[in-house]
């Protein structure tokens, strides 16, 4: 599904990612953990096509296509979805309008007709209910005045509607209380399928208690310094990142 | 006085003889004084603080002439339909003169007076005299002097005390002829506890003309006025319009000002607030190409406990220029005034320009007054967010701009007008479809 090879990225001439290698196969969940400033969010942003990042080397292949060559909206239409750490407030554009515009953009890209208005409402209302959101949210401006938890839930709602193939969750657990975390995790788990992959960027083990990853990678100083199974996350929670970083310096 | 001004002044004596209100000495005096004032001072100059961003010298170079009653165009009723609200009592002014054929005031309550200004000056001169020139006078600026001397017609609306009008009254101004001058004067009176909606719409043929208009509105005690101005003049036209509102004690007024058309357009809105009056001024100006759109507001808090709110938004593209000057004056006795003024501007091109100047003048010592101004471009984070949701960049920018402007249309409570304004916005920002 996704193959990242020797990816190096600069921000304002500063090296942030210094050779990332990562293979994500269909149906897999990868957690990327690491201390602040290690480049986790940069990786998520580069994959989704945000400007301001200079790719200086390496490649990213997504479904046999060069991902880095596509503008952000084409990546999204191809099935790459970024759930933002800080979802943006967009006054004047209602949630339901954005959802419909986004879904129709994908359908058009895939040569399908626009979604029928009634079918669309049925679809959206079902997903809203599953995420324990109030239907009123649909008619409010995108994220405007939403609490932190509501914003994150809204991201998962969009993800559920757009049915991406590769979901990148950037610190989706930050700012969530336990109840909200559980709802968001349930939402993600319900989307798990053999042909859908996830990359979860997170600081903490706690999200991984609810969404069980297949692989855990530790990113520090712009490189993946170690990888392992879910047990690695537990070890990190216990010992912190220090021992790994020290080890890397020693090596 | 320069030679260009002479064109207007020189033509005046001949015109004056045909203007309405010949037999009324008070009006003849008012016109004579206004003419004298205009003849010596002319149109406002950029040297005046209130006009420093808007240069009207083009008017002095091209002489615009009033259309005589005999040559007024025949306007096809069908072509007005796109601007005429279906659920309103409708008054139509063609080239500065009331057109009874196009107007429709059937079903108005008997106690409500709605008629052409020229007719009102014949039939109800005493009543008109007690309001005319009482909300604004010749000394205000050159266009008021000009309007006082030159006005050919307009409408007079009197809504008696306690009368609540179910439908809005729309006054539709249309100018049809190249080089013409349409000078109109309206007086709108709401008695105590009355309630009304007033819509003024300005349109014109795709030619150059000058539309100069003044409306005086008197809102009685505890009365309620919702007023709309929709300025869709031709792209070659000059528009100068003033709305001067006097709000009595506890009177409420909400005014929405949509400035879309004109090559050079200026609107002045002034409200004088008595005790505990409430005033809300909303504005939206959209400028493209070389349009110059100027909006001036002034709120005078004359007495205590009054509230005022202002939100003006502007979107300027290409080489367009926008101006907002908002002034709030709080008199010494106007304690407990609560006032807020906000002006937000979106510049879509490097050549677009906006000059904004909020002013607070506070002479009382126990008030709450605030103001804020922003000038900026679209938020790139928002653009990327929409792109990450499958929307291409051009559509994303269009959607965000539309959303910025639509906030002001959303405030309109009159459904038919809201639909009309939305149509306009969608034409202006074509990549949007709209879901309610």
Mutate to test the interface with B, among A89, A101, A106, A112 (most CBs of B within 10 A): A101
pLDDT, residue A244, reads 73
Q: What is the DSSP string of B349-378?
A: STT-EEEEEEEEEE--SS-EEEEEEEEE--
Residue pairs spanning A and B at CB distance below 8 A: 78
* Number of Cβ within a 10 Å radius of residue A113: 8
pLDDT band for position B324 (50/70/90)? very high
Nearest-Cα distance to chain B for A72, in Å, is 6
The number of C-alpha atoms within 13 Å of A217 and in the hemisphere containing its C-beta is: 22
Nearest-Cα distance to chain A for B408, in Å, is 10
| CATH label of the domain that carries residue A8 | 3.40.50.300
Q: What six digits make up the tokens of A191? A: 């989307």
Q: With residue A92 as reference, give the H or E element that holds it.
A: strand A90-94
- Interface check for B374 against chain A (CB to CB < 8 A): the answer is no
Average pLDDT, chain B: 93
Residue with token string 């949509």: B258
d(C-alpha B31, C-alpha B121), whole Å: 14
3-class DSSP assignment, residue B80: helix
Say yes or no to pLDDT of A50 above 70.
yes
Say yes or no to pLDDT of B336 above 90.
yes
Identify the DSSP state of A160. H
Q: What six digits make up the tokens of A18? A: 């210094």
Q: What six digits make up the tokens of B400? A: 């965000």
pLDDT, residue B435, reads 42
Strands B169-175 and A223-228 turn out to be: unpaired
- Interface check for A95 against chain B (CB to CB < 8 A): the answer is no
**What is the percent of chain A where pLDDT is above 90?**
66
pLDDT band for position B5 (50/70/90)? low
Residues of B in contact with A91 (CB under 8 A): 403-404, 407
pLDDT, residue B82, reads 85
Helices of type H across B23-76 = 25-41, 57-61
| CA-based nearest residue in chain B for residue A108 | B390
The terminus-to-terminus CA distance of chain B in angstroms comes to 56
ipTM: 0.94
d(C-alpha A142, C-alpha A157), whole Å: 12
Name the residue among A50, A92, A93 with its Cβ closest to that of B384: A50
d(C-alpha B237, C-alpha B143), whole Å: 16
Residues of B in contact with A90 (CB under 8 A): 382, 385-386, 400, 403
Q: List the one residue out of B348, B360, B264, B351 whose CA is nearest residue B314.
A: B348
Identify the DSSP state of A128. H
CB–CB of A109 and B390 under 8 A?
Answer: yes
- Interface check for A82 against chain B (CB to CB < 8 A): the answer is yes
pLDDT band for position A172 (50/70/90)? confident
Average pLDDT over residues B401-424: 94
Residues sharing a CB contact under 8 Å with residue B338, sequence separation 6 or more, in sequence order: B306, B307, B308, B367, B368, B369
Average pLDDT over residues B207-236: 97
- Interface check for A125 against chain B (CB to CB < 8 A): the answer is no
Strands B238-247 and B210-219 turn out to be: parallel
* Number of Cβ within a 10 Å radius of residue B400: 23
| CA-based nearest residue in chain A for residue B391 | A73
What is the total residue count of chain B?
A: 436
Name the residue among A71, A77, A91 with its Cβ closest to that of B407: A91
- Interface check for A234 against chain B (CB to CB < 8 A): the answer is no
Average pLDDT over residues A122-140: 90
Name the residue among A91, A102, A141 with its Cβ closest to that of B389: A102
Q: With residue B162 as reference, give the H or E element that holds it.
A: none
Average pLDDT over residues B247-274: 98
Nearest 5 degrees, angle CA A195-CA A196-CA A198? 145
Residues sharing a CB contact under 8 Å with residue B305, sequence separation 6 or more, in sequence order: B275, B276, B335, B336, B337
Residues of B in contact with A96 (CB under 8 A): 435
Count of structural domains, chain A:
1
Residues of B in contact with A77 (CB under 8 A): 390
CB–CB of B435 and A100 under 8 A?
Answer: yes
Q: What six digits make up the tokens of B246? A: 């006097």
pLDDT, residue A250, reads 37
* Number of Cβ within a 10 Å radius of residue B94: 23
Please give the residue range of the domain that contains residue A208. 2-250
Out of A30-39, A156-165, B166-175, B399-408, least confident range:
A30-39
Residues of B in contact with A50 (CB under 8 A): 384, 388
- Interface check for B61 against chain A (CB to CB < 8 A): the answer is no
Average pLDDT, chain A: 90
B341-388 pLDDT, tens digit each: 999 999 999 999 999 999 999 999 999 999 999 999 999 999 999 999
CB A31 within 8 A of CB A237: no
Residues of A in contact with B379 (CB under 8 A): 88
pLDDT band for position B436 (50/70/90)? very low
Out of A4-8, A231-235, B9-13, B269-273, least confident range:
A231-235
d(C-alpha B390, C-alpha B379), whole Å: 18
pLDDT, residue A149, reads 85
Identify the DSSP state of B177. S
d(C-alpha A123, C-alpha A126), whole Å: 5
Name the residue among A76, A87, A91 with its Cβ closest to that of B390: A76
Cα–Cα distances in angstroms (integers) from residue B288 to residues B285, B313, B347, B379, in the given order: 10, 15, 11, 20
- Interface check for B381 against chain A (CB to CB < 8 A): the answer is yes
| CA-based nearest residue in chain B for residue A104 | B390
Mutate to test the interface with B, among A51, A84, A88 (most CBs of B within 10 A): A88
Average pLDDT over residues B18-37: 94
Residues of B in contact with A105 (CB under 8 A): 390-392
Nearest-Cα distance to chain A for B388, in Å, is 5
- Interface check for A101 against chain B (CB to CB < 8 A): the answer is yes
CB–CB of A158 and B388 under 8 A?
Answer: no
Identify the DSSP state of B49. G
Dihedral angle, C-alpha B33, B229, B84, B216, nearest 10 °: -30
Say yes or no to pLDDT of B323 above 70.
yes
Name the residue among A73, A97, A103 with its Cβ closest to that of B387: A73
| CA-based nearest residue in chain B for residue A44 | B388
Name the residue among A76, A94, A106 with its Cβ closest to that of B388: A76
CB A150 within 8 A of CB A138: no
Nearest-Cα distance to chain A for B402, in Å, is 8
Dihedral angle, C-alpha B202, B206, B209, B213, nearest 10 °: 0
Mutate to test the interface with B, among A48, A84, A90 (most CBs of B within 10 A): A90
d(C-alpha B328, C-alpha B270), whole Å: 10
CB A241 within 8 A of CB A34: yes
Name the residue among B382, B404, B434 with its Cβ closest to that of A88: B382
Name the residue among B380, B395, B435 with its Cβ closest to that of A97: B435
pLDDT band for position B31 (50/70/90)? very high
d(C-alpha B268, C-alpha B47), whole Å: 18
**What is the percent of chain B where pLDDT is above 90?**
85
- Interface check for A144 against chain B (CB to CB < 8 A): the answer is no
CB–CB of B391 and A87 under 8 A?
Answer: no
B110-151 pLDDT, tens digit each: 999 999 999 999 999 999 999 999 999 998 999 999 999 999
Name the residue among B390, B406, B434 with its Cβ closest to that of A102: B390
pLDDT, residue B4, reads 53
Say yes or no to pLDDT of A38 above 90.
no
| CA-based nearest residue in chain A for residue B380 | A51
Say yes or no to pLDDT of B77 above 90.
no
Nearest-Cα distance to chain B for A98, in Å, is 8
pLDDT, residue B434, reads 46
């Amino acid at each position: 599904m996704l193959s990242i090879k020797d990816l190096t990225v600069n921000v304002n001439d500063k090296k942030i990612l210094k050779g990332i290698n990562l293979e994500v196969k269909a149906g897999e969940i990868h957690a990327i953990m690491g201390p602040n400033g290690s480049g986790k969010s940069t990786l998520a942003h580069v994959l989704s096509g945000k400007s301001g990042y200079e790719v200086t080397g390496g490649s990213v292949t997504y479904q046999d296509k060069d991902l880095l060559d596509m503008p952000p909206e084409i990546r999204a239409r191809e099935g790459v979805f970024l759930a933002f750490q800080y979802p943006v407030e967009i006054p004047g554009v209602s949630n339901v309008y954005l959802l419909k515009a986004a879904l129709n953009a994908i359908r058009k890209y895939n040569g399908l007709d626009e979604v029928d208005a009634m079918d669309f409402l049925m679809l959206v209302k079902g997903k809203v209910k599953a995420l324990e959101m109030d239907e009123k949210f649909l008619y409010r401006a995108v994220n405007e005045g939403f609490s932190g938890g509501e914003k994150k839930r809204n991201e998962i709602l969009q993800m559920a509607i757009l049915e991406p193939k590769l979901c990148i969750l950037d610190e989706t657990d930050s700012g969530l209380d336990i109840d909200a975390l559980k709802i968001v995790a349930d939402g993600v788990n319900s989307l798990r399928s053999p042909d859908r992959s996830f990359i979860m960027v997170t600081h903490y083990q706690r999200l991984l208690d609810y969404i069980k990853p297949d692989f855990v990678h530790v990113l520090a100083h712009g490189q993946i310094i170690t990888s392992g199974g879910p047990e690695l996350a537990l070890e990190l929670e216990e010992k912190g990142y220090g021992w790994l970083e020290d080890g890397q310096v020693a090596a | 006085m320069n030679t260009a001004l002479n064109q207007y002044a020189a033509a005046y004596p001949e015109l004056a003889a045909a203007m309405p209100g010949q037999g009324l000495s008070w009006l003849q005096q008012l016109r004579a004084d206004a003419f004298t004032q205009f003849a010596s001072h002319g149109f406002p100059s950029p040297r005046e603080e209130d006009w420093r961003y808007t240069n009207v010298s083009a008017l002095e170079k091209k002489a615009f002439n009033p259309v005589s009653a005999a040559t007024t165009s025949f306007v096809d009723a069908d072509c007005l339909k796109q601007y005429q609200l279906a659920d309103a009592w409708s008054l139509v002014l063609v080239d500065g003169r009331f057109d009874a054929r196009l107007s429709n005031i059937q079903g108005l309550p008997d106690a409500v007076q709605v008629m052409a200004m020229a007719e009102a000056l014949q039939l109800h001169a005493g009543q008109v005299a007690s309001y005319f020139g009482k909300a604004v006078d010749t000394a205000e600026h050159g266009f008021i002097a000009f309007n006082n001397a030159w006005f050919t017609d307009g409408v007079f609306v009197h809504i008696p005390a306690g009368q609540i009008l179910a439908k809005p009254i729309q006054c539709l101004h249309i100018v049809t002829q190249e080089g013409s001058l349409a000078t109109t004067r309206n007086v709108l009176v709401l008695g105590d506890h009355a309630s009304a909606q007033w819509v003024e719409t300005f349109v014109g043929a795709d030619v150059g003309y000058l539309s100069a208009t003044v409306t005086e509105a008197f809102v009685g005690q505890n009365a309620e006025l919702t007023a709309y101005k929709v300025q869709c003049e031709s792209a070659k036209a000059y528009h100068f319009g003033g709305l001067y509102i006097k709000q009595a004690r506890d009177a409420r007024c909400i005014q929405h000002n949509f400035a879309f058309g004109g090559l050079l357009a200026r609107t002045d809105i002034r409200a004088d607030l008595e005790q505990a009056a409430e005033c809300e001024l909303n504005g939206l100006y959209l400028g493209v190409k070389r349009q110059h759109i100027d909006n001036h507001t002034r709120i005078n808090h004359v007495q205590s406990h009054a509230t005022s709110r202002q939100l003006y938004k502007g979107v300027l593209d290409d080489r367009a220029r926008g101006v907002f000057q908002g002034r709030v004056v709080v008199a010494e006795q106007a304690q407990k005034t609560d006032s807020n003024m906000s002006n937000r501007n979106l510049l879509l091109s490097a050549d677009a320009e906006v000059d904004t100047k909020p002013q607070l003048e506070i002479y009382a010592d126990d008030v709450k007054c605030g103001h804020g101004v922003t000038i900026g471009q679209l938020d790139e984070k928002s653009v990327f967010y929409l792109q990450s949701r499958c929307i291409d960049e051009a559509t994303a920018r269009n959607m965000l701009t539309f959303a910025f402007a639509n906030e002001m249309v959303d405030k309109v409570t009159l459904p038919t007008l809201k639909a009309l304004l939305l149509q306009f916005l969608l034409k202006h920002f074509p990549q949007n479809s709209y879901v309610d």
